[in-house]
Structure 1
Amino acid sequence: MSHVLVATTGNPILEDGLLANGHTVTLLVPADAVPRFQRRHPKLSVFGIHDWDDLDEVDSLDQVLPAVDAAATNDEQTIVAAARLRELRGLPGLSVADARAFTDKHEMLGRLQAAGIPVAPHRVVHHETQIADAAEAVGWPVVVKPRAGMATVHTHLVHNHRHLDELRYAGAFEATVEDTAGRFGASHLLGGLNQSPGGFLVQSYIDVAEELFTDLYLLEGEQLLAAPGRYNQPVLQQLGEHRHWTVLIPDLPETVAVVDLVHRAVTALGGYTGVHHVEVLRDRTGRLWLGEAAARTGGGIYQAYGLQYSFDVARILAQLAVGERPDIGRLTPTYPALTTIALDPVPGVVRHIASPDELLAIPGVVDVDLTLTVGQPVPAGFGSMAGGGRLVFAPRATDADTIQADVHALLAALALDVAPALETA
């Protein structure tokens, strides 16, 4: 058995998998969250960090952290810090340079473009006053977003000069974000874009007909599993409402080219062993563009393909973290498609909702995980991370129209009724 240092901000899937597999785990977490992690894991050593991006602090922590056999993470904020610890200790895994390629969108886009992978042109700016010139250079409309970010936080689709002026007047580029998830105390994600270290991106907007994704599992460069799928609509267009996505099998006509592009992109970014979540855009001419890539599982997506293939994702992540070969290459999917509905109700108090047992009795429903309780406020989400929980079901067919009809039927059966916040004030 191995001793693994896990850098994490809150999703316990990796440490839970390692512990279940019999490994010893030491945790590195945001400093303000140390007591919470100690309560959850009273038998583990827990160390705190104040800034994941401060490699001098990481170097100092290296002097007090115990000897380990591996350093691992499944968390966007911690990828570079984990890579630095691996380099200091001569452990296998992503280097700092490759970790930055997966987390710094400027570095990412540069590598992908150099590898001949289609990406939208972009510019780096350091203040909102520079956005218009950058947009003129790459072409309106543009997407303005952090160099290192997640969950669409601080991400804006800006249509033209007038829209930019409206956003500036509203303070969009100075606005901070509340840490409703309780996971980002050691990151720069919460501060306004104008204060972003290293600036932020202005990127040409692709006229998207379809946004797709793939979670790609590699072991020493070998593809073990590809879990492709599609969002019901581009992520930037679906905030503030219930949304859904569907995981598909990798050998459908619509997914073969996507998986191939994803594998090429992950290789160009330095991916070798582990899970990589990649988003792909199909424009209205049918051309595929690489959107973004990450060296982690897709948030909210891995639960569905874990059910689709009937495997324990936590156990597989633990095996990859210690360099073991997981036996997932010959798995047969139980379902050709599984759709997840992420529930994102309006703020307010829940007046009525169907019970999990009622929902699981509906044909096709395979998993229910609700955080909504009658008489209680709707839990806050964080960016594109919805707070109401999820429903996972097997659609009647894989085409988008059938899935949309099935989603409407299931939401009707959910019978969710929320008293809006203004009515409860």
Structure 2
Amino acid sequence: MPEPSTPVTGTVVMLGGRSEREFGVVRELGYRVVLLDERIPWHCMPWVDAHVDIGLDDWGAVADAIRDELGDERPAAVLTHTEPRLPLMAHLGSLLSPGSPGLDAEAAANCRDKWRTRTVLEAAGLPVPRFALATSEDEAVAAASHIGYPVVVKPRDGAGAFGVRCCIGESEVREAFGALGGFLRDGLPGALVEEYVDGPEFAVQTLTRGGTTQLLSVFRQRTTPPPVFVELGYEHPCGLAAAHHEELAQLLQDTLDALGLRDWISHTQVRLGTDGFRVIEVNARRPGGRLVEMTTAVSGVDMVEAVTRQVLGLEQAPPGPAVAFARYTSIVFDEPGTVLYDEFVPDGEGPGRPVVELEIAPGETVRPKEDPQGGVYGRIVVYGGSAEELDRAEQDVRRALDLQVVFGDGLDPAPSDSREFKSCC
């Protein structure tokens, strides 16, 4: 990694992280990086100035380790891009750098706990699905009967739509609740049972500064139909009329105000039902699965740099160039089998260059998109000046890849699966 472009002015403590960009931005802005995690990956070593191997579950021990590492120096900021560590980041920020901008502990908790998110927003008079918290199968069934079918059963925390299922009857609710055993054991107690809102879904990325929220991108999201929600892709422009877009902007401002998010980024899921917008989820983080790069392309704002500048109290960089049209298409399969494809290396450079990722190698097995062992196996992201240009760009990629699935009969699931994204962001 190159040396900082400006003299070092302080130290940023980072909790976890795997992306070079996360660390590179901090150093480019003229700060040292101290990385704390239970196991520091070897590939991260060149990107940081110092590291501390420590488990992050004991908050007191983490605070002591930071004090030992920095001595009398106060950290310029405590930062993480890892959603489970956001509450710890907020706690350490207030403890070690009181008064610094960023995500506070209450806002972090409000966004991390889906039940708490809905409770706070409902109390503020904002539109959310009807919901209830259930700690047993019987409570889940009673909540579903009260709300009215169909309902969605999901864990209180977690991401990527894991464990989320739409149910149309009692047996499905019981099955969905039972399948959450791992979440109920390792995460927050209880499951969320909520009304299923039928209508188009939108992924909204924002940057909030001093309580004023700016919409960076609004993507129309495509998923498989219920009962499971596997991401099929995202589109920009999102197709909303100007009046709806203004309504959505105001809803995000009011939502983040109510949750206490004043100096941070967010990735929010919203559905447009027959009675208007409903807030489905609010995540106090950037999106995953290449949506952050899409946001940079369509807005000119890099969310990684923006949130880093925000927590350091620095002015935001001016927006860069933006593209007019963008499309993210998940690589999914309808039938099981062995996948074959050719290597594809995109031409060109810059924001208009296609992104092509496959998380499986030729000769490996795949499952249908709705299968628990299936889902998303990669993604294609294309940019252009019109919808027609997107069509041509995606077709060019698919022709070059020549994706095929063969030998479907008698297929057994792969014994392990290390893919990062199986479902929604």
Secondary structure of 1:87's partner? helix
Within 5 Å, give how 1:69-88 maps onto structure 2. Answer: 69-88=76-95
Structure 2 unaligned segments of length 5 or more: list them.
1-8, 413-425
1:287 to 264, 276, 279: 276
CA RMSD after TM alignment: 3.7
CA contact (8 A) 2:300 2:322 kept: yes
Secondary structure of the structure 1 residue equivalent to 2:353: strand
Q: Which residue of structure 2 aligns with residue 113 of structure 1?
A: 122
Aligned partner (choices 11, 19, 31) of residue 23 of structure 1:
31
Show the counterpart of 1:150: 159
CA–CA distance in 1 between the matches of 2:46 and 2:377? Answer: 21
Taking the TM superposition and a 5 Å limit, the aligned residue runs for 1:9-48 are 9-29=17-37, 31=38, 33-36=39-42, 39=45, 41=47, 43-48=49-54
Provide Cα deviations, 1:248-279, integer angstroms capped at 9, x if missing partner. Answer: 38995243322221121111111111211111
SS at match of 2:84: helix
Distance across 1 between alignment mates of 2:391 and 2:384: 12
- Segments of structure 1 that go 5 or more residues without pairing to the other structure are 175-190
Q: Which moved more, 1:381-390 or 1:72-81?
A: 381-390
From 195, 201, 206, give the equivalent of 2:192: 201
Q: 1:263 aligns with which of 253, 258, 264?
A: 253
Which residue does 1:5 correspond to in 2? 13
Between the aligned partners of 2:336 and 2:83, the Cα distance in structure 1 is: 27
Task: Map Cα deviations across residues 60-84 of structure 1 (whole Å, 9 max, x no partner).
Answer: 5555453411112222111101011
Superposition pairs for residues 24-423 of structure 1, below 5 Å? 24-29=32-37, 31=38, 33-36=39-42, 39=45, 41=47, 43-51=49-57, 55=59, 58=62, 61=65, 64=68, 66=70, 67-89=74-96, 90-92=98-100, 93-167=102-176, 172-174=179-181, 191-193=182-184, 196-206=187-197, 208-233=198-223, 239=229, 243-248=232-237, 253=242, 254-283=244-273, 285=274, 287-299=276-288, 300-328=290-318, 333-335=322-324, 337-345=325-333, 349-353=338-342, 355-357=344-346, 360=347, 366-371=353-358, 375=362, 377=364, 386-394=376-384, 396-397=386-387, 411=398, 414-419=401-406
C-alpha distance after superposition, 1:123-156 (max 9, x if no partner): 1122233210111222222111111110011212
TM-score (norm 1): 0.78
| Matched-pair contact (CA < 8 Å) for 1:152–1:383 | no
Residues 149 and 224 (structure 1), Cα distance of their counterparts in 2 relative to 1, 3 Å cut: same
1:180 maps to what in 2?
A: none
C-alpha separation between the residues in 1 aligned to 2:69 and 2:366? Answer: 36
Report the Cα distance in structure 2 between the residues aligned to 1:250 and 1:222, rounded to whole angstroms: 24
3-state SS of paired residue (2:278)? strand
Compute the TM-score of the two structures, normalised by the length of structure 2.
0.78
Tell me: higher relative CO, structure 1 or 2? Use CA pairs within 8 A at least 6 residues apart: 1
For 1:127 and 1:314, the matched residues in 2 are separated by 39
Q: Is the 8 A contact 1:103 1:294 kept in 2?
A: yes
Identify the residue that residue 188 of structure 1 maps to in structure 2.
none
2:215, 2:249 within 8 Å by CA — same for their partners in 1? no
* 2:136 and 2:190 in contact (8 A); partners too: yes
CA distance, structure 1, for counterparts of residue 115 and residue 16 of structure 2: 24
Checking the alignment, whether the CA contact within 8 Å between 2:79 and 2:311 is kept in structure 1 is yes
